[in-house]
Each structure stands twice: as structure tokens, then as C-alpha cells.
Structure 1
């Protein structure tokens, strides 16, 4: 089957691209590889029009419905290979089928690296957060821990001081990189550093996922209500390594003003691009990519008519 545009990834950025392109009356196929990062978020609190917040699962469900309403097709399948035999030709292969497209949008996102704690998933996304810009407000007045063992943990702990002064860093059995360099500042703001390995997390499991206490292997228990994990993430860019796309030092795909890559007719949106990891930015990037794709396809249509 041949489409005007194939989008790999059905998170907020990919779905936003699909909605706008479908409204331009282009044929659009979206590959949904399963629950992505947004599906972990119990509430997005800074998205316009949702004063009570909106869950990641609801945003994704509504986004899929909206894209399909305008004619976009969504396939729940993993892409196993991408080929680019010609400027206007992309071959996208899954385990069961092959598709052709004139434009390609990469929206494969990232995967957060979880702290190595046995019961972390009881609290992930509800009391354990991964993005300082996105969730710093939730730390207001809370007893907070920052998980991590490099300078990123220190900088994030200092960044939380605008919201709470009850902060400590837990390295989970590893020495804290940069500690001597920042020791005076950490002491000034009473930010303790605990290097003891973590035994487990305690609190209300299930839907609430409310953290209450952290137990260390030496028996110490520390009252803790909220956590920020600073272990970083893995970029889901394995499929695109053979496309010769330019990336930055961290592996994010480099893009221009309208989300275009160094390879003509390939675009990238969302967390696979090096921008702040916020829902509103992912959605806006999808719109920008759709506008650029529309202009490129429209200009071809006009040139054909003129000939």
C-alpha cells in the first residue's frame, strides 16, 4: 500500500502530525508500537484547556480517535526496516507487510532509564518523575529525593529548591560524581547525599502509587513523598541508523525550523528531537512538520499542473 506520509510512532507528536496532514486530505499511515512514555503520565497539568489535568492515556486515546476521524490509518505494529531507494520513495517493512510512502516522519521517542530498585514500577509515573521542567510543581512543599549519581542529580536537586527545601540525593550504592566540587553548595542548602544502596520503596501501591518512605540496605528509613529520577533515557533511534541522519552528541536527530532533517523528505518530531520534553512542544512540532510536508507536496502538485 502507498501513502503520502508514513509516521512511525503514535505518541502526541506523531498523532499531532497525522491529524493535521489528514485534515489536508493526504493519505496518512501511523505505526503504533505500543505504550510510549506519555502513557505513563497520570496527569498532564500544563496543557491548555484541561484545568484539572488530563492523563497521558486519555490524550493518546483522544488523539487516535481524532486522527482516524479525518481519515488517518493507525496500525498497531512494529516497524522492522526502513529503506529509502529514492528521494520520493520510502519502503517501510513490518513483520507481516510492506508499505510505501512519499514522506517519512520519525516520532519514535525515548525510553526513560529506571532506577535499579526492585519495586520501582509501583510508583513510576505517579510518585517517581523523570522531567524537571514538566513536573517541578508537583514537588512543592514535598519531601523529595533525587535518584542519580552524576552531576545531573546535583543540578536537578538545586533546581528543585524553588519548590521545596526538603531534598536529598540517593545514589543507590554509587559515589556521587562531582560531590567535592559542589559540596559547599549542597551543604548550604541542607541537601544530604545518601550513598547506601536502596532496599525498597514503601507507600500506597496501585493506581495511587503514592510514595511514603525509602528503606536503605543498612536499615535506615527516610520519609519521602516524591522522587525525581535523573538516570536519563535511551533514544529509540535504532531503525534510523542506516538512513544517515545527522544527530547531535546525545543521539537526538538534528532538525530545522520545520522539523526537517538533513535527508530530504524525512522529518523528526517529539522526544527523538533535542527539545524540552513537554507535551505541548511535542504537539506543536507535529503541526510544524505537517505544514512543511503539506507545502512540499503542494508545490509538487502545482508544478505538475503548470507543466
Structure 2
């Protein structure tokens, strides 16, 4: 949305394809955005962003993009379920999709006491009883990282063997990080708006008190549409860009989580503005002449 706002302020025609229900939409509070000391919900931030973009003339199309093709004259044809559009430039801000823990009632607590990004939500773990869900080496390293915030940490692998347990076993023991490989039955607590976790219950009938949970199952970059246009991606599927937010295909840019693994909204906002600046300068450099006075 920051790209759309800046491009519209450059007096360009801007279309935003908003498929809805991205990661931002279910974040209950962003706490590290300058100017929001009490935090702001993802839905409210999106609402304000759309309003601001439209204020400067950007058009919001509430539809999923199904296909994008390069036209013979070098433009792009963008197809949704209801219409076709043409554009000279594209900006992919398609983000990530989280791989979810296989626990039935996970969405009752997602974003409230079940978290996916330690950089984003480490503060919420301070002094809390914390569980790390997963079974990879990343799970172990995340458990160690949580020790900066709390000394009450355990790992729940949800029925899977823990990769790297032999390698890190001594350290796990030294820091009193228990590893529970029994499958998780469900989360228990107060679901809904507050989404406050109290207990992890396991299939063998045992329970473990918990205040906050970090999921470490990783993410998938939403880059298929870009790949269909032969845009280069890295080994994790993230779109490759240069310092100007340009992809390997001319006139295609990418910003936000789809290009990196920081998962921090503030980075995405800055990258969006930078992409808009680079597109505007690209258009300026392609002008054949400046308009005569009065044109």
C-alpha cells in the first residue's frame, strides 16, 4: 500500500489488487510502528492505508489476480475473476503464507498468544512460560533465542522426532529446555479477541502450562505469479531483487516479505516507498522530451 500511496502522489495511475485475508489482516496489534504507542491492528492499518491511497487517486480492486501475461508491446495483462487490466509496471507485494502447526484450534489463538515471528513479538514472551512448536534445528535455535526474554522455555515437537537433538542435547539440558515429543491434542485457554493461552494438552492426557507459543514451521513465499513471468527466485522461493527493488525482469518490482525473511512490516513499508521512487525515476528517464509550456 505504501507503493500505491507514493506512486499516486507522483501523479501516476495506480491499481492495487487486494485479495484480502493476507497476514496483516489477522495481526491483532502492531506494536513497533512509529506513531502508534498503543499499537494498531492489522485490519485498521489496512483500512487506513486503503483510505490514504484512494485519497490520492489510487484505485483498489478487491479481487484475486489469477494470471499475468506479458503483451506484445511490453505491457502486462492482469486477469482477475471479473476483468482484465493492463499496466506498464508491476510491483509484487504478495507476502508469505505461514505453515501452521497441526493443532485443531490454532486459529483461536493465532497472533494473540500463538506467534510466528520472534523479531516481531519477542517482547510478548518476557517473563512468560513459553513453548516452541516444531521439530527442526530452527526450533532449537529459536528456543535458545527465547532465553533473552524468559527462562521458562520448552519445546513441543507434536509427535515428531527433534532434528539436531543429539547435536544440541547438552545445551538444551544446560538451559533446562525440556523436549516433549508427545503429539499435542489442543490449545487450552480463553479463545477469541483476547486469545489467551493457559495450557497445552497432549494426547497422552498430560498438560503443560504455557502463556505464549512460538511456531517455527516456517513460511512459503507467495511468488508463483512472479515465477510464471520468469522472475528469478531463490532457493526458498523468495523473489530476488536488487537495491532498487527491481527483479530480474524489466518493469517488475517486488517488496515486503515476498523478497526477504525479516517479516517486519516497517521494512515492507520502506521498500514499498523505494519501489515507487524507482518506478517514477524509470518513467522520467524514458521521456523523449519535456512537455512544452502549456502542453
Is the pair's TM-score, using the shorter chain for normalization, greater than 0.5? yes
Alignment of structure 1 residues 198-217 onto 2, 5 Å:
198-217=184-203
| Counterparts of 1:264 and 1:87, CA distance in 2 | 13
Paired with 1:260 and 1:95, the residues of 2 have a C-alpha distance of 28
- TM-score normalized by the length of structure 1: 0.93
1:97 matches 2:110: no
Bigger shift: 88-97 or 254-263?
Answer: 88-97
Following superposition of structure 1 onto structure 2, how do residues 72-221 of structure 1 map, counting pairs within 5 Å? 72-86=58-72, 88-221=74-207
Map of 1:296 onto structure 2: 282
Q: Distance in 1 between matches of 2:273 and 2:36?
A: 20
Aligned ranges 1:209-248 → 2 under 5 Å: 209-248=195-234
Partner of 1:19: 5
Task: Say which SS state the counterpart of residue 71 (structure 2) adopts.
Answer: strand
Q: TM-score, normalised by structure 2?
A: 0.97
Match of 1:3 in 2: none
Which residue of 1 is the match for residue 243 of structure 2?
A: 257
Kindly indicate whether the alpha-carbon contact (under 8 Å) linking 1:87 and 1:264 is maintained by their aligned counterparts in 2: no
Conserved in 1, the CA contact under 8 Å of 2:76 and 2:88? yes
Please tell me whether the aligned partners of residues 227 and 233 of structure 2 are also in contact (alpha carbons under 8 angstroms): no
Match of 1:305 in 2: 290
Which runs of structure 2 are paired with 1:63-74 in the superposition (5 Å)? 63-74=49-60
Alignment match, 1:12: none
Q: Any conservation in 1 of the 2:154–2:179 contact (CA below 8 Å)?
A: yes
Is 1:60 paired with 2:46? yes
CA RMSD in angstroms comes to 1.3
Give the Cα–Cα distance (whole angstroms) in 2 for the partners of residues 37 and 16 of structure 1: 16
CA distance in 1, matches of 2:70, 2:280: 20
Deviation at 1:241, TM superposition (A): 2.1
Q: Give the conservation status (yes or no) of the 8 Å contact 1:213–1:221.
A: yes
| Residue 20 of structure 1, CA deviation | 0.3
Using the TM superposition, name which of 234-243 and 121-130 deviates more.
234-243
User: Which residue, 6, 11, 36 being the options, matches 2:22?
Assistant: 36
Inter-partner Cα distance in structure 2 for 1:227 and 1:94: 38
Q: Number of residues paired by the alignment?
A: 292
Per-residue CA distance 1:48-76 (angstroms, 9 max, x = gap): 11111111111111000000000000011
Q: What do residues 16-45 of structure 1 show as CA deviations (whole Å, max 9, x unaligned)?
A: 000000000000000000111011111111
CA offset digits 1:249-305 (Å, max 9, x no partner): 11100001111001110000111101411010010000000000000111223x343
Deviations 1:163-192 (A, max 9, x none): 001000000000000000000111111000
Which sections of structure 2, spanning at least 5 residues, go unmatched? none
CA shift for structure 1 position 47: 0.7
**How far 1:88 moved relative to its partner?**
3.9
Distance between the aligned counterparts of 2:251 and 2:178, measured in 1? 50
